[in-house]
Amino acid sequence: MARALETVWVFGDQLNRKIGALATAKPETHRILIIESAGKIASRRWHVQRAHFLVTSMRRFALELEQAGFKVDYRKSATMRKGFKEHVAKFSPSQISVTEPNSYTARQLVASLKVQTVKSNQFLCHPDDYAKFAGDKKSIKMEDFYRWQRKRHDVLMDGKNGDQPVGGKWNFDEENREPPPKSGHDRWPKPKQHKLDKIDQQVLDDLPSSVFGKKPDGLWATSRADALVRLKYFVKELLPTFGEHEDAMLESNWHLAHSLLSPYLNNGLLLAQEVVDAAADAFAKGNVPINSAEGFIRQILGWREYIWNCYWRWMPEYAERNHLQAHRPLPPLFTNPKKTKMKCVSTILNGVNERAYSHHIERLMVLGNFALISGTDPQQFTKWMWNSYIDAHEWVMVPNVLGMSLYADGGQLATKPYASGGAYIDRMSNHCKGCHYDRKKRTGDDACPFTVLYWDFFLRHEKAFVKNPRVARSVRAAQQLSDVVELKKTAKKILQRLDDGEA
């Protein structure tokens, strides 16, 4: 009797032939299991583009594997566990292997089943290596981790011994914080798009009616081939100007020079190594200036890997942290942008509805900042972002939202709260012109909610921050404002309006 095939179980965020257990699988000896869990899809109110992107990518990947000669059990089941059991009952595989999954819950599931776990190579720093790097240090600075990554992966390195950074410094941030240019807002080429096909339509037909947002229009690739087209396009057309206006926000241009590659990096259609290589190669050929190449590579080799490792170091307790005791229920404006007159917030939220995306500074310095200074519950805000963004996965959402954005971890990840008033948003965007509110005012009905709540935040949390060297000045400045009583009254009114869905 022929020996039963071995099974390689592939999760929906490991869609790449080079990842872990799949890398050594062969059509003659292995069958591939991919489970589409109806329970997971129906568990939340997802953005339609996010749900479509993840499911379509899985279905296309299964077809690609079949075309490569594999037998694929693409199993639609009520839950992952049930799908796994059904697979075992049907095929009695001689062995089942799986690459270490990317979420805490999935690792718990895998640990409770009889499967062989293969170490993951999906990231550029495995938690085992990070643990060796961290040793018994209590906190690790991203910058130190990034330099270590640059050296050991030999990226943008120079000098006799190859231990010096190309361009003479590790960090070109100073050149990358320019406000938006006054004109020429169409200078960045538009993102690539493709036509939807029958598979896309089938997935859309299968999604539950609870999804929200604008239906997909081909902005997000759902196959490796299309993701590679987007990588090539980014490196050629946008990477050369990535750095300069990286932190700028424009009403008339939502993408600027951002790569829009995070969804593919996060579900496996692209690998971090090939993205870093493509950028470093373009720099070596003289097509990209150092501030853009270094700025982009730092995001992937540094920030992304750092966040991944923070997740594994601190979970599962981390997801429940609420250091500042912020208990405001998610304000209605997040699910209905019509409920706000704040132009910065409504523009970005309309963009999220339109494409399940906004760029980093919009996430951190507008939406996250607003949730922070309004005292919004960190777990509710995380859940909203997780439901709404094309690139959201627990490992990346939780540290970025709870840690970087909301200071809910008490400073484990970020050494200061990223709180700012209207002045920052006015400097880095063109939203304030024509806004109902006046970003300079901190009292009165038309006072900018960011400006008012920024000061109110430091007054509310003066004890927590007065000894923090990075923000102590803001606390003292808040205490010395001439109109503290009036400002507090205005803050109270704004928070009431926010809860009533009228801010």
* 260 binding ligand FAD? (CB under 6 A): yes
Binding partner selected for residue 401 from ligand FAD, ligand SF4, none, CB under the kind-specific 5 to 8 Å limit: ligand FAD
- Shorter beta-carbon distance to ligand SF4: residue 19 or 256: 256
Size of the site for ligand SF4 (CB under 6 A): 14
> Which of 266, 340, 376, 430 is close enough to bind ligand FAD by CB under 6 A?
266
* 247 binding ligand SF4? (CB under 6 A): no
Contact range with ligand FAD by CB under 6 A, out of 69-77, 83-91, 255-263, 464-472: 255-263
Closest by Cα among 438, 481, 431, 436 to 457: 481
Q: What are phi and psi of 32, to 5 degrees?
A: -105, 135
Binding partner selected for residue 457 from ligand FAD, ligand SF4, none, CB under the kind-specific 5 to 8 Å limit: none
3-class DSSP state of 16: coil
Q: What are phi and psi of 361, to 5 degrees?
A: -70, -35
Size of the site for ligand FAD (CB under 6 A): 28
Contact range with ligand SF4 by CB under 6 A, out of 36-44, 309-317, 351-359, 444-452: 444-452
- Shorter beta-carbon distance to ligand SF4: residue 342 or 385: 342
| Residues 407 to 426 in contact with ligand SF4, rule: CB under 6 A | 422, 425-426
* 369 binding ligand FAD? (CB under 6 A): no
* SS3 of 421-454: CHHHHHHHECCCCCCCCECCCCCCCCECHHHHHH
Tell me how far, at minimum, the Cβ of 447 lies from ligand SF4, in Å.
9
* 431 binding ligand SF4? (CB under 6 A): yes
| Backbone region of residue 156 per phi and psi (left: phi > 0; alpha: psi in -120 to 50; beta: other values) | left
Tell me how far, at minimum, the Cβ of 269 lies from ligand FAD, in Å.
12
- Shorter beta-carbon distance to ligand FAD: residue 248 or 401: 401
- Shorter beta-carbon distance to ligand SF4: residue 319 or 435: 435
Tell me how far, at minimum, the Cβ of 237 lies from ligand FAD, in Å.
13
* 368 binding ligand FAD? (CB under 6 A): yes
| β-bridge partners, 328 | 376
Question: What gap in Å lies between CA 237 and CA 35, rounded to an integer?
Answer: 37
| β-bridge partners, 187 | none
| β-bridge partners, 164 | 158
Tell me how far, at minimum, the Cβ of 413 lies from ligand FAD, in Å.
10
CB atoms within 10 A of CB 321: 19
Distance of CA 56 to the CA centre of its chain: 20
> Which of 349, 448, 495, 503 is close enough to bind ligand SF4 by CB under 6 A?
448
> Which of 381, 437, 454, 455 is close enough to bind ligand SF4 by CB under 6 A?
437
306 CB contacts (<8 Å, ≥6 apart)? 140, 142, 145, 146
CA angle 468, 472, 476 (to 5 degrees): 150
Residues in the chain: 503
* 126 binding ligand SF4? (CB under 6 A): no
- How does DSSP assign 192-220, residue by residue? P-----HHHHHHHHHS-TT-BSPPP-S-S
- The position carrying tokens 């990209």 is 288
* 342 binding ligand SF4? (CB under 6 A): yes
CA angle 409, 503, 49 (to 5 degrees): 65
Q: Are 422 and 448 in contact (CB under 8 A)?
A: yes
Residues forming contacts to ligand FAD in the complex (CB under 6 A) are 258-262, 265-266, 296, 299-300, 303-304, 307, 359-360, 363-364, 368, 385, 389, 391-392, 396-397, 400-401, 404-405
Residues forming contacts to ligand SF4 in the complex (CB under 6 A) are 342-344, 422, 425-426, 431-432, 435, 437, 439, 448-450
